[in-house]
Amino acid sequence: MHTAILTFDGYNELDSLIALGILNRVNAPGWRVSIACPAPRVRSMNGVTIDAMIDLDEACEADAVIVGSGRKTREVVEDPAVMATLARLDPSRQLLAAQCSGTLVLAKLGHLDGVPACTDLISKPWVQAAGVEVLNQPFFARGNLATAGGCLASSYLAAWTIARLHSVEAADEAMHYVAPVGEKDEYVAMARRAVGPYLSEAGSDLCLS
């Protein structure tokens, strides 16, 4: 199973890299996590440069795609070439998730028509202007679509992705690994509370069956 994390220039390190770190705690044959960028190298909102592991074309073929956020998301959705490539994303065959301003990308692609979503407080008016109801909660999912609001809610997107592509137990283990010592059970329980109800609605732990 391959998860691609879309990471654009001006990206928020917490959004892309927390998800990357948690997703990579899964040790399973064929499990793969990639940073996907529209250019060979991108610079974060705080000046951290990273190299792309794959391009956007390959990301569109992944089993799960997480759209990261950043300071330039409104520029991303106005880029015809980028949006034409991302138009290939399809929740009927893959998981699609968005973090904070990444929700605006899914909204502009039409995937959130009639679907409420989560985002951060700064991005909220942009997402609302795109015609999407914004919820006052950290995580929401419907079917193969998920959104999260707030940088640290990226852990919920990672847990949801692991649960859907692998198992709930693997998601618990990944969260337990990264949680602070002495608070591990609380962190696992918190992720379960945020993500669990939407796993039941999906009808299966697996995206592809």
pLDDT at 190: 95
Contact between residue 70 and residue 40 where contact means Cβ atoms under 8 Å apart: no
pLDDT at 202: 59
Q: How far apart are CA 114 and CA 57, in angstroms?
A: 27
85: which 2 tokens? 């490539």
Average pLDDT per block of 10 residues along the chain, 209 residues long: 97 94 95 97 96 97 96 95 97 96 97 96 96 97 96 96 96 96 95 92 45
pLDDT at 89: 97
What does the DSSP 8-state code read for residue 152?
G
The gap from C-alpha 71 to its chain's centroid, in whole angstroms, comes to 16
Residue bearing tokens 């592809």? 208
The helix/strand/coil state of 75 is helix
Kindly report the pTM of this predicted structure: 0.92
